[in-house]
A and B are shown apart, each in its own frame.
Chain A
Amino acid sequence: MMAATGIRVEGVSKRYTHRVKGEVYAAREVSLEVRTGEFVTLLGPSGCGKTTTLRMIAGFERPDEGRILLGDQDVTGVPANRRNIGFVFQNYALFPHLSIFENVAYGLRVRNEPDTEIRRQVGAVLDLVGLAGYERQFPAQLSGGEQQRVALARAIVIRPRVLLFDEPLSNLDARLRVQMRHEIRDLQQRLAITTVYVTHDQEEAMAVSDRIAVMSEGTIVQEGSAEDLYHRPASEFVARFIGRVNLVAGRVVGFLGEALQVEALGARVRVREAPLGARPGDTLRLVLRPEAIGLSAGSGSVSATVLARTFLGEKIEYLVRCGNETLHVTRHNTGGGAIFAEGQAVALRFPDGDVAVLGPGSEA
Chain B
Amino acid sequence: MLWALLALFVLYPLGAMFARIFRDDTGFGIAGALATLADANQVRAFWNSLLLGTLVGVLGTVAGFVFAFSAARTKLPRWMATAIDAAVLLPLVSPPFTAAIAMIFSFGPRGLITYELLGIKGFTVYGLGSTLFSEALTYFPIAYLTLRPILAAIDSNIEGMALSLGASRWRVFRTVTLPLCIPGIANAFLLLFAASLADFATPLILAGNSFPVLPTQAYLQITGLFDLRGGAVLSFALLVPALAVFALQRYWVSRRSYVTVTGKGAGQAPFDSAAPSVRALLLAACAALTLAIVYLYALLLYASVVVALGANHALTAQHYKVIFTEGLKAIRDTLIIAGCAMPLGGLYGILLGYLVAKRNFPGRGAMELVSMVNYALPGTIVGIAYLIAFNDPPVELTGTALIIVACYVFRYGPTGIRATVALLQQIDRSLEEASQGLGASSSTTFRRVTLPLILPAFFAGLGVVFIRSMTAISATIFLVSIGWTLITVKILDNMTELSLGPAAAFSVLVVAIVFAVMAAISWMLSLLRAPGAAPVPSLLGG
Q: Which size class do B's interface residues fall under?
A: 20 to 34
Interface residues of B in 436-472 (CB under 8 A from A): 436-442, 444, 448-449, 452-453
Query: How far is B440's CA from A311's CA once the two chains are assembled, in angstroms?
Result: 54
B431's contact among A58, A86, A95, A138, by CB below 8 Å, is which? A95
Query: How far is B533's CA from A80's CA once the two chains are assembled, in angstroms?
Result: 28
Secondary structure at the A interface, as helix, strand, loop or mixed, is loop
B435's contact among A84, A85, A106, A137, by CB below 8 Å, is which? A106
Complex contact A98–B430 (CB within 8 A): no
A158 within 8 A of B: yes
A128 within 8 A of B: no
The answer to whether residues A84 and B439 also contact, given A97-B530, A138-B533 and a CB cut-off of 8 A, is yes
B497 within 8 A of A: no
A79 within 8 A of B: yes
Interface residues of A in 284-328 (CB under 8 A from B): none
Complex contact B532–A111 (CB within 8 A): no
Complex contact B530–A80 (CB within 8 A): no
B439's contact among A110, A138, A141, by CB below 8 Å, is which? A110
Complex contact B532–A93 (CB within 8 A): no
Complex contact B437–A81 (CB within 8 A): yes
Secondary structure at the B interface, as helix, strand, loop or mixed, is helix
Complex contact B532–A140 (CB within 8 A): yes
Complex contact B440–A96 (CB within 8 A): no
Complex contact A138–B530 (CB within 8 A): yes
Residues of B within 8 A of A110 (CB): 438-440, 444
Interface residues of A in 105-123 (CB under 8 A from B): 106-107, 110-111
Question: For residue B456, which residue of chain A has the nearest CB?
Answer: A97
Question: For residue A86, which residue of chain B has the nearest CB?
Answer: B437
The answer to whether residues A111 and B433 also contact, given A106-B448, A140-B533, A141-B531 and a CB cut-off of 8 A, is no
B534 within 8 A of A: yes
User: A121-165, CB under 8 A of B: which get 1 and which 0?
Assistant: 000000000000000011111000000000000110010000000
Complex contact A111–B439 (CB within 8 A): yes
Residues of A within 8 A of B530 (CB): 96-99, 138-140
Complex contact B438–A106 (CB within 8 A): yes
Query: How far is B440's CA from A59's CA once the two chains are assembled, in angstroms?
Result: 13
Complex contact A97–B433 (CB within 8 A): no
Residues of A within 8 A of B448 (CB): 106
Question: For residue B532, which residue of chain A has the nearest CB?
Answer: A140
User: A82-94, CB under 8 A of B: which get 1 and which 0?
Assistant: 1111110111011
Interface residues of B in 494-542 (CB under 8 A from A): 528, 530-534
Question: For residue A84, which residue of chain B has the nearest CB?
Answer: B439
Query: How far is B428's CA from A60's CA once the two chains are assembled, in angstroms?
Result: 14
**What is the minimal beta-carbon distance from A133 to any residue of chain B, in angstroms?**
16
Interface residues of B in 418-439 (CB under 8 A from A): 428, 430-431, 433-439
Complex contact A106–B430 (CB within 8 A): no
Complex contact A95–B449 (CB within 8 A): yes
Residues of A within 8 A of B431 (CB): 93, 95
Residues of A within 8 A of B532 (CB): 138-141
Complex contact A140–B534 (CB within 8 A): yes
Question: For residue B440, which residue of chain A has the nearest CB?
Answer: A110
**What is the minimal beta-carbon distance from B440 to any residue of chain A, in angstroms?**
5
Interface size on A, residues (CB 8 A): 34
The answer to whether residues A93 and B428 also contact, given A81-B440, A81-B441, A84-B439 and a CB cut-off of 8 A, is yes
Residues of A within 8 A of B531 (CB): 137-138, 140-141
Complex contact B452–A79 (CB within 8 A): no
Complex contact A96–B533 (CB within 8 A): yes
Q: From B434, B436, B438, B441, name the one whose CB has the most chain A CB atoms within 10 angstroms.
A: B438
Complex contact A93–B434 (CB within 8 A): yes
B452's contact among A82, A84, A97, by CB below 8 Å, is which? A97
The answer to whether residues A87 and B433 also contact, given A81-B440, A106-B440, A140-B532 and a CB cut-off of 8 A, is yes
**What is the minimal beta-carbon distance from B454 to any residue of chain A, in angstroms?**
10
Query: How far is B533's CA from A137's CA once the two chains are assembled, in angstroms?
Result: 11
Q: From A81, A84, A155, name the one whose CB has the most chain B CB atoms within 10 angstroms.
A: A81
Residues of B within 8 A of A99 (CB): 530
Complex contact A158–B438 (CB within 8 A): yes
Q: From A82, A91, A99, A106, name the one whose CB has the most chain B CB atoms within 10 angstroms.
A: A106
Q: From B434, B441, B534, name the one whose CB has the most chain A CB atoms within 10 angstroms.
A: B434
**What is the minimal beta-carbon distance from B517 to any residue of chain A, in angstroms?**
24
A60's contact among B433, B439, B444, B449, by CB below 8 Å, is which? B433
Residues of A within 8 A of B453 (CB): 96-97
Query: How far is B433's CA from A111's CA once the two chains are assembled, in angstroms?
Result: 17
Query: How far is B439's CA from A86's CA once the two chains are assembled, in angstroms?
Result: 10
Query: How far is B530's CA from A107's CA once the two chains are assembled, in angstroms?
Result: 20
The answer to whether residues A89 and B439 also contact, given A138-B533, A140-B533 and a CB cut-off of 8 A, is no
A93's contact among B433, B440, B444, B534, by CB below 8 Å, is which? B433
Interface residues of A in 223-258 (CB under 8 A from B): none
Residues of B within 8 A of A158 (CB): 438-439
Question: For residue A141, which residue of chain B has the nearest CB?
Answer: B532
Residues of B within 8 A of A98 (CB): 530
**What is the minimal beta-carbon distance from B410 to any residue of chain A, in angstroms?**
30
Residues of A within 8 A of B439 (CB): 81-82, 84, 107, 110-111, 158
**What is the minimal beta-carbon distance from A111 to any residue of chain B, in angstroms?**
6
Complex contact B430–A107 (CB within 8 A): no
**What is the minimal beta-carbon distance from B338 to any residue of chain A, in angstroms?**
29
User: A44-66, CB under 8 A of B: which get 1 and which 0?
Assistant: 00000000000000111000000
Residues of A within 8 A of B437 (CB): 58-60, 80-81, 83, 85-87, 155
User: A197-227, CB under 8 A of B: which get 1 and which 0?
Assistant: 0000000000000000000000000000000
Residues of B within 8 A of A82 (CB): 439
Residues of A within 8 A of B452 (CB): 97
The answer to whether residues A97 and B434 also contact, given A81-B439, A91-B428, A106-B448 and a CB cut-off of 8 A, is no
Query: How far is B389's CA from A235's CA once the two chains are assembled, in angstroms?
Result: 75
Residues of A within 8 A of B442 (CB): 81
Q: Which residues of A contact B (CB under 8 A)?
A: 58-60, 79-87, 89-91, 93-99, 106-107, 110-111, 137-141, 154-155, 158
| 9 A-B interface contacts by CB (under 8 A) | A60-B436, A89-B434, A97-B533, A106-B435, A139-B530, A140-B532, A140-B534, A141-B531, A158-B439
Q: Which residues of B contact A (CB under 8 A)?
A: 428, 430-431, 433-442, 444, 448-449, 452-453, 528, 530-534
For the complex of A and B, the 7 pairs showing the least CB-CB separation, nearest first, are A140-B532, A107-B438, A93-B430, A93-B434, A141-B532, A87-B437, A138-B530
List 16 additional contacts besides A91-B430, A93-B431; criterion CB under 8 Å. Answer: A59-B436, A81-B436, A87-B437, A89-B433, A90-B430, A93-B434, A95-B434, A97-B528, A106-B440, A110-B438, A111-B439, A140-B531, A140-B532, A140-B533, A141-B531, A155-B438
